[in-house]
Chain A
């Protein structure tokens, strides 16, 4: 996951590297995702989240659709 100056930079970078353009969104949404996704890493009771739990976090910050599905089913 990289940070670009603009959407035009994303398009040019993808074209140059022959990479399919993925998902694009602003830092406010990523901040929301980062705080929840990693929020328990300093807890003594931390454990690996299940896939449904991870999916619920993505859904909770509005990252829905096929790109954000953690399983192919």
Chain B
């Protein structure tokens, strides 16, 4: 039975779990939901990272760090939509979360130099309030060399 569950189905479930709950499921929770052995889930999560480029695991573990654009750990980019909230890995990812959930909301962050709080909000139709200006420090060809820094 386990072989009938494709990795892609697990990937999609993780994403919807993130959207609905605002947090990432643990490997044990994934295993319980699909009726899989924890060791099988760990293998699948590694495949989703290494082969499919669908997830990023915390180094040396099978715990999910990023399901881009979502971050499993707190960041400087808090995204809110109604009662739900998430963290984006960067301002790009934070905007993508708002677009993905499609219900409108806001991104709260702060200028890394001045410390001034910055608010970006969007509705279902698109960007609404847009404070600030974006800086990409890393050239595109190097984005995946150190995804945590990027």
Q: Which of B36-94 contact A (CB under 8 A)?
A: 52-54, 68-69, 90-93
Q: B106 contacts which chain A residues (CB < 8 A)?
A: none
User: How many residues of B are counted as interface, with CB atoms below 8 angstroms from the partner's CB atoms?
Assistant: 45
Q: Which of B99, B138, B150 has the most CB of A within 10 A?
A: B99
B137 beta carbon closer than 8 Å to chain A: yes
A22-B137 Cα distance, complex, nearest whole Å:
4
Chain A contact patch, size range: 35 or more
Which A residues form the contact surface with B (CB < 8 A)?
Answer: 1-7, 9-10, 12-14, 16, 19-31, 33-35, 37-39, 41-42, 44, 46-48, 58, 66-72
Q: List 25 A-B contacts (CB under 8 A).
A: A1-B135, A1-B137, A2-B91, A3-B134, A4-B111, A6-B111, A6-B133, A9-B113, A13-B113, A14-B135, A22-B138, A23-B135, A24-B133, A27-B127, A28-B130, A29-B134, A31-B122, A35-B95, A35-B96, A37-B92, A37-B96, A41-B100, A48-B52, A48-B54, A67-B140
